[in-house]
Amino acid sequence: MRMASFTLSLLLAAALCRAGDRPAARFYASGDPKKAEFALTFDDGPGYITGDLLKLLEKKGAKATFFMLGTSVRAHPEKARAVAAAGHMVCSHTDSHLLWVKEARKKGYELRLEEELARSAASIEKAAGVRPAVLRMPNGYDKPWVRLVAGKLGYTLVNWTYGSDWTKQSEEKMDEGYLKALQPGAILLMHDGGGKGRVKDLKLVELILDEAVRKGLKPVRVDELLGLRAQGK
């Protein structure tokens, strides 16, 4: 059994180190379960609720992480700037939220991802004044080739422990799921991108933060949760 596990590890390492032994990006979906910390993360923004979300986070004394789309940043540069100015972490969610399950079947898909990341990074840096070093792929898409491309460009990949705000379940069921997932080391996924339908996330965030106080958990940025080098340093 140990030999089979060792062989599998060697095969995975070989896959991740192809193409000239480029280092693959580090990948995380949770933090240290022994530390009383967790991370609130928001995808697809900036969007309709971003301004109100920033006010809520400030009121609660919480820091969060925003995985921004280049298209959304170009549409709302002032909101991207406000996120960074408030001390939250700004990360990349690529430029246009392509469906990579399909894109990866097309010729030149690796270059396409590099181009997506370059456009996103340029837009974020222009609007928010920071160069993103953490990436979350659309739909959490994760393959060895993605880690290689991300590593080549200096990114760390971060997915999530729990998220369900895009599903059709009731708000009560959704709230229940997030509160159950609120544990040390958790990375919770929600969305600030989109229209008025995201207002429900404001109620959810407040519910989570109130419960975090009761559980003695501190909401921190992803770089702090994972021990990454702080953005801008």
The single residue of 88, 165, 191, 223 carrying the catalytic annotation is 191
Residue 32, SS3 per DSSP: coil
Phi, psi of 206, rounded to the nearest 5 degrees: -65, -40
Is residue 21 among the annotated active site residues?
A: no
Write out the H or E segment, with its range, that includes residue 133. none
Structure tokens given for 167: 């599903």
Report how far Cα 66 is from the mean position of its chain's Cα atoms: 7
Would you tell me how many other CB atoms lie within 10 Å of the CB of residue 30? 19
Which amino acid, residue 216? G
Q: How far is CA 134 from CA 130, 177, 189, 218, in A?
A: 11, 26, 15, 21
The single residue of 43, 95, 201, 223 carrying the catalytic annotation is 43
Q: How far is CA 118 from CA 70, 71, 113, 130, 144, in A?
A: 9, 12, 9, 13, 20
Q: Which ranges of 153-194 would DSSP assign to H, the alpha helix?
A: 171-181
Report how far Cα 86 is from the mean position of its chain's Cα atoms: 18
SS3 content of the chain, % helix, strand, coil (to 5): 50, 15, 35
Q: Which ranges of the chain would DSSP assign to H, the alpha helix?
A: 2-16, 18-21, 50-60, 70-75, 77-85, 100-103, 109-128, 144-152, 171-181, 199-215, 222-226
Is residue 43 among the annotated active site residues?
A: yes
Give me the active site residues, please. Answer: 43, 191
